[in-house]
Structure 1
């Protein structure tokens, strides 16, 4: 069973940059329009993680999913990812994509499959993540939002 989380929009760019920086994630484009970042808390209102996405029509690029170290291993990442994908699906996205710095990722356990960049839609390849924020060696993952 996935933990129940409450999500609130992160509308403080400085706070968002701090959270992402602490997790070792890119921050250069977080204040640009078209990005949605959410702060997640457990039922006790304790911060447990962060996640974001860029809606791209029929696709969505998941961004900056990070779980606070003391909450890892309890399904928080799974819950954050499911919440982000549900929000993207409501906006019309059929496929979710994400970049990682390596082959080892919790996304594989969630049913994401590794794909080559040539398999991604043009909208994903045109994002700042794909064109420069993520190294050319970054691994691209894909999954249908409804599964």
Structure 2
């Protein structure tokens, strides 16, 4: 099945919520007016994947990456991640941060690096994923959206 990536539309909201619920990802803090933060993957007439980036100044919180079971194994999660990163870069964000309890290796394989929560921009740390939604055991990862400067640290700092 071929999937098409596009910005989410209001009609996609129920399918996004269903994907996130099925993946046991946080939804309590999401509202339908957050739809503009989402990208969706559609195939066979249905939404089969989604991802969102919440902007906080020059940083963004990468969240809600989910792929339907029937669409897994074909690289769709990677395509959604790359598309969300490109969209964030085009919007002027300089870095992204995420929390995960299950997908650290997936993201590290795509250039994300472990990040101490103290190094996360303050505005992002105030997001509900950091304050209440995700457990303290969640791994924090970050990614610069611009080329690394010579001499810059490779791990841990995404300022």
Q: Say which is worse superposed, 70-79 or 32-41, in terms of deviation.
A: 32-41
Q: Are 2:92 and 1:122 equivalent residues in the alignment?
A: no
Tell me how far 1:68 sits from its aligned partner: 1.5
- Asked if the contact 1:62/1:96 (under 8 Å) is kept, the reply is yes
Deviations along 1:59-97, whole A, 9 cap, x unmatched? 111111011222222211111011111111122111011
Tell me how far 1:19 sits from its aligned partner: 2.2
Computed over aligned residues only, the root mean square deviation of the Cα atoms, in angstroms, reads 2.3
User: After TM superposition, where is structure 1 displaced by more than 4 Å over at least 4 residues in a row?
Assistant: 32-35
Q: Are 2:2 and 1:6 equivalent residues in the alignment?
A: no
Q: Say which is worse superposed, 21-30 or 71-80, in terms of deviation.
A: 71-80
Structure 1 residues 34 and 59 mapped into 2: Cα distance closer, same or farther (>3 Å)?
farther
Paired residue secondary structure (1:47): strand
Tell me how far 1:46 sits from its aligned partner: 5.0
Structure 2: distance between partners of 1:75 and 1:14: 24
Q: Are 2:97 and 1:59 equivalent residues in the alignment?
A: no
Which of structures 1 and 2 has the bigger CA Rg?
2
Across the two proteins, how many residue pairs are aligned to each other?
A: 144
Runs of 5+ unmatched residues, structure 1: none
Structure 2: distance between partners of 1:109 and 1:53: 19
TM-score (norm 2): 0.79
Structure 1: distance between partners of 2:32 and 2:132: 15
Paired residue secondary structure (2:10): coil
Alignment match, 1:106: 106
Runs of 5+ unmatched residues, structure 2: 148-159
Structure 1 residues 34 and 105 mapped into 2: Cα distance closer, same or farther (>3 Å)?
same
Alignment match, 2:141: 141
TM-score (norm 1): 0.85
Tell me how far 1:103 sits from its aligned partner: 6.6
